[in-house]
Structure 1
Amino acid sequence: MPASQRFEYWLDMICRTYVHLDCASPEELPFFGDIEFSSVGPLRFTRLSSNAKRVWRTPACIRKEAEDYYLVQLQRAGHGFVRQGGRQAALAAGDFAVYDCTRPYELHFDSDYHDVTVLRLPRTCLETSVSGMAKLTATTITRQSAAASLLMAMLETLHVDLDKLHPSSADSVSEGLVSIIAAGLRGLPEANLCKASNLQTYHLARIKAYLREHLRDPGMTVGSIAQALSISPAHLNRLFRNEPLSLAKLMWHWRVEGCQRDLADPRQAARSVGEIAYAWGFSDVAHFSRVFRERAGLSPREWRAARREAMQVPAAEN
């Protein structure tokens, strides 16, 4: 781009790629920026380098668009700072932090060059795995942690080999990325202030294992799980009091995830949306469509068409 147009073009590009933002152009040096973006499952990941030193999201930016994402910034080169909710995460190469685009935040870079990878993921991806996210944003997960090392290695591999990833594997890979990020967040001291007892952890693991095993059973309810595991329904609900989702919501969430994987799989293109919903334990298509839209932001047919378009797979009749 001509030098006189670079900054405006850059600001428009990052707003379209991430969320609506404001950005300060460097005063001392000519502006430059480079951005590469791609998607894996529901995640968008971007590799970005620039000499812009300050980016911020204000309440006015938030009011312009109803974007509902978490952003994960992995620092590759240079030093950065993420500020949100009165906290500041200082990031050196290999560190990462998470911030919430529904609340104001600021990004600062203290050198004339920075290189970062940013992941944009739907809010529900993290909030089903990590409690108390409002207290965990803008907190550094350091490069010394296993989560940061794994995230860096996985993103490096995807950057090089994304075109080799089979479309039907994309959602599983994205789930792996989210699990690594969640593991890093759960390792923060703030995430362990109300740590569950060993007995609670044992019961929760039993319940979730049973739920996974019987997820496709349309007759499964909170009551039937309690009966099968010899736990009273009241105690079962108490066990999930500090979990991100209640047991009932977790059951529907996992069923929708299973439907999403099947709807995105080209090998299952001949199956109708209804067939896939019934196979994952839904007994009412209207209820399925409502729960699916709450999670994905699209109807099942819209989501399937969008995934096929992204994969360049011809759509079949539903």
Structure 2
Amino acid sequence: MAGETYRVESAETTELWSGERADFWSEHVTSYHCRLDYRFVQPGGFRGGTIRQCTDSYQIVDFWSDEIRYVRTPGQVRQDPDEDYRFLVPAQGELVVRQDDQEARLTPGSGALFALGEPFELRHDSSTRAFIMTIPAREIDDPLNRTSPLAAGLDLTTGLGHVVNAMVTGLSHEQDRITGPHFDAVCERIVELLCMLAVGDDRPDVPGHLAEVESLVRRYVRRHAADPELTGATMAQDLGWSLRQVQLALQQAGTTPRDLIREERLRLVKQRLRNPAYQYMSIADLAYASGFSSASALSTAFRRRYGQCPRDVRYEGDR
């Protein structure tokens, strides 16, 4: 399992002789990412450090160093392909990212998502410290329906962006107190929220965007179906969208927030009725534990959906 390989690794150039530091930094950063050109302002005595958290699925590197410019050339893209994305989150100082004729100047409270599958340039001064997260390409390309590089300033000071920022920095603060599965779970959520943030809320009626909203809404409802307080409004608020946007996305798929929530709760109940671990739980307790207001509400909805009552399904599973 990927989570079992969770590692935290630290490195600093101050442990080396000053003449070795630039070469070490070049090899060190390349081992975490891919082939790059390193343009040191003062290679002699260069100072830098990293703290890396990673599993087989995700990587977050907290890094700081003297002034430097990183360049990914077209030749390096061809010779050492890397299609994965990087999410850059400054903690202090300023970084400048250039890619695909776009430039993003990043300071604390902003972020950028860019691809290493195309040439780019990244530079910063000696006051900078930042996090850089590696995200598999499919987790960005599929939800956002794009395969081109993206270099854009993202607002991480309010709303959904602030939540994403807090999750990235929170993983760093808790690096020695979390497990691999926890790290992967939080990273998965960061990627989902980052996709929402990158898409924004300014295209509520675009079919491709609505399909993405629908997909993320379904995943959210499946995870939170047992919450008795779950509604279309609370779901939209947590996801950072308007209720109208959620309704439009589900309407395109032929359902509503209420119907989707009920369907997922019924699926959960049916699954639990057939699970020996729940065989001693009463139907009433099972109803409450699965988000229904009462046993009668569950029985009515269950019979309409499956044509039989919950007890019959449990009985079938015992025969």
Under TM normalisation by the shorter chain, which class is it?
Answer: 0.5 to 0.7
CA deviation map 1:235-256 (0-9, x unaligned): xxxx79xxxxxxxxxxxxxxxx
Aligned-residue offset at 1:179: 1.4
Aligned pairs (5 A) from 1:132-281: 132=146, 134=148, 137-187=150-200, 192=203, 195-196=204-205, 201=210, 205=214, 209=218
Letter in 2 for 1:3: S
Residue 36 of structure 1 is matched in structure 2 by 51
What is the alpha-carbon distance in structure 2 between the residues aligned to residue 80 and residue 90 of structure 1? 6
Cα offset for 1:38?
A: 1.2
2:39 pairs, out of 24, 31, 51, with: 24
Which structure 2 residues correspond to residues 9-158 of structure 1 after superposition, within 5 A? 9-27=24-42, 30-40=45-55, 42-109=57-124, 111-132=125-146, 134=148, 137-158=150-171
Residue 100 (structure 1) shift = 0.6
Closer, same or farther in 2 for the Cα pair 1:116/1:4, shift >3 Å?
Answer: same
Compute the displacement of 1:180 (Å): 2.2
| Kept in 2: contact 1:58–1:104 (CA 8 A) | yes
Supply the distance in 2 between the matched residues of 1:20 and 1:141 (Cα, whole angstroms). 26
Which residue of 1 is the match for residue 18 of structure 2? 3
Shift of 1:167: 3.3
Aligned residue type for 1:147: L
Return the alpha-carbon distance in structure 2 between the equivalents of residues 177 and 71 of structure 1. 13
Structure 1-normalised TM-score?
Answer: 0.58
User: Aligned to 1:162, what secondary structure does the other structure show?
Assistant: coil
CA spacing shift, 1:207–1:161, aligned 2, 3 Å: closer
SS in 2 for 1:49: strand
TM-score between the two structures when normalised by the length of structure 2: 0.58
CA contact (8 A) 1:141 1:185 kept: yes
Unaligned ranges ≥5, structure 2: 1-15, 223-251, 254-319
Separation in structure 1 between the aligned mates of residue 211 and residue 190 of structure 2, nearest angstrom: 25
CA contact (8 A) 1:44 1:120 kept: yes
CA–CA distance in structure 1, aligned partners of residues 68 and 196 of structure 2: 30
Per-residue CA deviations over 1:264-288 (Å, capped at 9, x if unaligned) read xxxxxxxxxxxxxxxxxxxxxxxxx
Counterpart code for 2:95 = G
In 1, are the aligned partners of 2:58 and 2:187 still within 8 Å (CA)? yes
Name the CA shift for 1:87/1:33 in 2 (closer, same or farther; >3 Å): same
In structure 1, runs of 5+ residues without a counterpart are 214-238, 241-318
The 1:188–1:204 alpha-carbon spacing in structure 2 relative to 1, beyond 3 Å, is: closer
Distance 1:84 1:178 in 2: 21
The Cα shift of 1:75 comes to 0.9
Q: Conserved in 2, the CA contact under 8 Å of 1:45 and 1:117?
A: yes
Task: Give 1:197 deviation, angstroms.
Answer: 5.5
Conserved 8 A contact 1:81-1:108: yes
Contact 1:145–1:184 (8 Å) recurs in 2: no
In the TM superposition, what is the alpha-carbon distance from 1:29 to its structure 2 partner? Answer: 7.6
- The one-letter code of the counterpart of 1:45 is I
Residue of structure 1 in register with 2:296 after alignment: none
Q: Aligned to 1:134, what secondary structure does the other structure show?
A: coil
One-letter amino acid matched to 2:86: L
Matched letter for residue 60 of structure 1 = G
The aligned residue for residue 299 of structure 2 is: none
